[in-house]
Amino acid sequence: MSATTKSTATKRKTLLLKFKDDTVTTVSHETFSEVAKTLGFNETQTLHFAIARLRDEILKGGRAGSRGGEEPYPPLTAGQLLDIRSQAPKPRGKPVRKESSSAISELKKAARPKAVDMTPRSAGRKKTKP
């Protein structure tokens, strides 16, 4: 692979980050460097780590209804759960038969190795039918 092809194949988008003073929504370079040092990361790793945490908090960690300024939904009460479950469709057809413990023990018994007579036929053992 030539050098020009390799460089274009691994070309990534870049982001210029301009630091400001520490506020509620901004971070100074000094604070950012201190965070990186505390984590034991370089500044690039620290930025990726921070953005990944923010992504998880905003996109995945939030409960339904918590985006766009809405209040999060409160948990359902026992009565609400009962109402929902009573309205759920009932299963149709025959229920799946569960194996009883006696049927399982019979299967286990049938799977056990049987005693085998190792006496040679010449010694008096008779041929048995299977």
Q: What's the DSSP call for residue 122?
A: G
How far, in Å, CA of 67 to CA of 62, rounded?
8
Secondary structure (3-state) at 116: coil
Task: Tell me the whole-structure pTM to 2 decimals.
Answer: 0.40
What pLDDT, in 10s, does the model give residues 2-48? 555 555 567 788 888 899 999 999 999 999 999 999 999 999 999 99
Domain ranges in the chain are 16-64
CA dist., res. 104 & res. 116, Å (int): 24
